[in-house]
Amino acid sequence: MPSYQDITNEEELHKMMNETEDFEERKKIRARIREIRDKQRDEMDAKRKQREAEAEDQVKKKFERAEEEKRKKMEAYKQQAPTHARESKYHEVSQGLIQDKFKAAEEEKAQKLAAYSSIAATKTGPSGGEVTTTTTSSTTSEKTPGGGTRTVTQKTTETKGFGGTSYGKPAAKPQGPKSAMAAFKQMDNTANPNAAAAKSKAMVRSPSAIKQMLLDWTKAMTQGYSEVEVTNFSTSWNNGMAFCALIHHFFPNAFDFSKLDPKQRRYNFTLAFDTAEKEADIAPLLDVDDMVKMKNPDWKCVFTYVQSIYRHLKDHENNKAGPIEQ
């Protein structure tokens, strides 16, 4: 009879147990496996207790260091306490002088500040010549009744070209976040006059409305397929049949839908994702292993993938439901 006491490899013992049919031998092997596991468990417990003891020592030492640091700070504070009042008064006077100097400098700056900037833009005119537009801005500071200051910018525009020089009307307006935001919006509208209209049109559709419209589109595409009933973007897709039905609607020759089994979830997911990528170049945004593990898939992930399918196939000849406004 072989001896198993010298064997410490659990995998080797399992292999030997699978190879023998003798009941007594298998019993001995199982006993040896239990001994190995008990020994490993004891070693792990010992290591865990050692780590806990070391951690406890570290916490204790850290606490002692903190107490020592606290004691030193208290002693230093007691030694400096008699001079604290005199130093505080000196610090207060110094801060007052600094603030007075800063205030005087700001007032002088507000009275004398005059910053000029010039921006020139060259464009091609209708006749092929160059048209140069120069914008000069003058910035000054004024005092307000409340004692503060405000910045006023005056701009003058000069345009050269089209056979002469023309001057724009000067405009003075306070600077601020509001004016800057308005300028950016005006620049965007000038560069793309259709952007504002397109943006307001897109904002008409709420996310919930888009979600419902995509769900209705999916129902229309999968209508009539057995074992498929799409009522949401989670449980309705957990066996892969809905994905297969949606792809099969557009590519009926890719596979035989009637041979699919709802219980073969992994096969269904793999078939749908691979066919979508092969036939329509749709990236597999969902992972097969994750879908197999989850009975209630994350609706946001499913929604994103179905939305990608729609965007790739919305112009397909089999899309009878028409486009969705997004």
Q: What is the pLDDT along the chain (326 residues), one digit of tens a residue?
A: 467 777 888 888 888 888 888 888 888 888 888 988 998 999 999 999 999 999 988 898 988 999 988 988 888 887 775 555 556 666 677 777 788 888 888 887 777 765 544 444 444 454 455 555 555 556 666 665 555 666 666 666 666 554 444 445 444 444 444 444 444 345 445 445 555 455 544 455 788 899 999 999 999 999 999 999 999 999 999 999 999 999 999 999 999 999 999 999 999 999 999 999 999 999 989 999 999 998 889 999 999 999 999 999 888 887 765 445 44
Please indicate, yes or no, if residue 3 is contained in any of the structural domains: no
- 326 in any annotated domain: no
Q: Are residues 106 and 174 in the same domain?
A: no
| Nearest-5° Cα angle at 212, 207 to 214 | 95
Question: What pLDDT, on the 0 to 100 scale, is given for residue 97?
Answer: 79
Whether residue 220 lies inside any domain: the answer is yes
Q: Rg of the chain over CA atoms, in angstroms?
A: 39
Residues 217 and 177 in one domain: no
- The per-residue pLDDT for 319 is 72
Give the SS3 label for residue 239. Answer: coil
Strand blocks (E) in the chain: 115-124, 130-143, 149-161, 164-167, 171-174
**Statement to judge: residues 133 and 220 lie in one domain:** no
Instruction: Tell me which of 82, 110, 138 is where a domain ends.
Output: 110
User: Residue 250 has what pLDDT?
Assistant: 93
Phi, psi of 36 (to 5 degrees): -65, -45
């209708």: which residue's tokens?
Answer: 126
- Distance between CA 192 and CA 186 in Å, rounded? 10
Domain final residue, candidates 198, 219, 237: 198
Which residue range is the domain that position 146 belongs to? Answer: 115-198
Of 214, 253, 254, the closest CA to residue 236 belongs to 214
Residue 6 lies in a domain: no
3-state helix, strand, coil in the chain (%, to 5): 60, 15, 25
Burial status of residue 291 (CB atoms within 10 A of its CB: 0-12, 13-18, 19 or more): buried
Residue 29 lies in a domain: yes
Q: Tell me, yes or no, whether 230 and 161 share the same domain.
A: no
Same-domain check for residues 226 and 173: no
pLDDT for 308? 94
Same domain, 44 and 79: yes
Last residue of some domain: 198, 231, 260? Answer: 198
257 lies in the same domain as 297: yes
Residue 263 lies in a domain: yes
Residues 6+ away with beta carbon under 8 Å from 224: none
277 in a domain, yes or no? yes
CB 163 within 8 A of CB 157: no
What is the Cα–Cα distance from 251 to 275, expressed in whole angstroms? 9
* Residue carrying the six token digits 């001079």: 83
- Residues 297, 291: contact at Cβ < 8 Å? yes
C-alpha to C-alpha distance for 309 and 324, rounded to whole angstroms:
13
For residue 322, the model assigns a pLDDT of: 47
Say if residues 125 and 136 touch (Cβ distance below 8 Å).
no
95 and 163 inside one domain: no
By the 10 Å C-beta count (0-12 exposed, 13-18 middle, 19+ buried), 305 is classed as buried
Number of structural domains in the chain: 3
Residue 322 lies in a domain: no
Strands 115-124 and 171-174: unpaired
Contact 235, 295 (CB under 8 A): yes
Same domain (yes/no): 267, 227: yes
User: Do residues 157 and 236 both lie within one domain?
Assistant: no
192 and 216: one domain? no
